[in-house]
Amino acid sequence: MEQNAHTEHTHYDAEASKIGMWLFIFTELLLFGGLFIVYSVYRFMNPEAFHLAAHELNRTIGAINTILLLVSSMTIAMSTSTLQLKKKGATIGLLTVTIIIGIVFLVNKYFEWGVKFEHGIWPGSEHLLKDFSQGEILFFGLYFVMTGLHALHIIIGLVFILFALVRIQKGTINENRAALLENAGLYWHLVDLIWIFLFPLFYLIT
């Protein structure tokens, strides 16, 4: 899309990209905010059922995933520092680790969902509709929607980081033009932060 003299003329403004990213993060927070409202309302209406249903979830996998995401947040934060120190190799290494951790998170999620499916629990499943109370149906509905949407954000975040990684390899992201990597980091922290809320809401509060 470089057809205009225009784009060539666009100056590099790291501050602008960062403001843009923060604004986008606001919108993401509000997107999940809508879901958190729905969750709170139904939890308030069905405290017993939410309590019961939460026992169905595997806390161990949830805890492991929480630790994984926290570590990945650390590695991506370190990568922005190493980039400033002009250690290209270390930056690429740290980003690769971040991506691998993200993928492990998704694999865990896959198995976690898989077990639910084996037990016959998925939105609209016969077992769920027949043998569970309305509150529990809502709990699992929200569980699948919210963790599913979060997993989608993990995937977007991974693509974003991969994109930054390629650009670092090519040298178009460097210590002087680091905004894209920093934005990938901000986005990844957001994804991490949302999980920090999802984990207690679904797994821990019983």
C-beta of 8: minimal distance to another protein in Å? Answer: 7
Contact characters 16-35, another protein, x per CB under 8 A:
x--xx--xx-xxx-xxxxxx
C-beta of 82: minimal distance to another protein in Å? Answer: 28
C-beta of 34: minimal distance to another protein in Å? Answer: 4
Task: Please tell me the distance from the alpha carbon of residue 82 to that of residue 95, in angstroms, as a whole number.
Answer: 11
Kindly state whether residue 176 participates in binding another protein, applying the rule CB under 8 A: no
Task: Please tell me the distance from the alpha carbon of residue 115 to that of residue 160, in angstroms, as a whole number.
Answer: 30
Residue from the set 52, 77, 144, 162 that interacts with another protein by CB under 8 A: 144
Question: At 200, is the secondary structure helix, strand, or coil?
Answer: helix
Task: Please tell me the distance from the alpha carbon of residue 25 to that of residue 145, in angstroms, as a whole number.
Answer: 20
Residue 171: is it exposed, middle or buried by C-beta count within 10 angstroms (0-12/13-18/19+)?
exposed
Residue from the set 56, 141, 189, 193 that interacts with another protein by CB under 8 A: 141
C-beta of 71: minimal distance to another protein in Å? Answer: 29
Residue from the set 52, 64, 145, 162 that interacts with another protein by CB under 8 A: 145
Residue from the set 37, 103, 106, 107 that interacts with another protein by CB under 8 A: 37
At 174, give phi and psi (nearest 5°). -145, -175
In the chain, alpha helices (H) = 5-9, 14-45, 47-54, 59-84, 88-118, 126-131, 134-170, 179-199
Residue type, 117: F
Q: Around Cβ 5, how many Cβ atoms within 10 Å?
A: 7
Contact characters 111-140, another protein, x per CB under 8 A:
-----------xxx----x---xxx-xx--
Which residues contact another protein by CB under 8 A?
A: 1-10, 13, 15-16, 19-20, 23-24, 26-28, 30-35, 37-38, 41-42, 45-46, 122-124, 129, 133-135, 137-138, 141-142, 144-145, 149
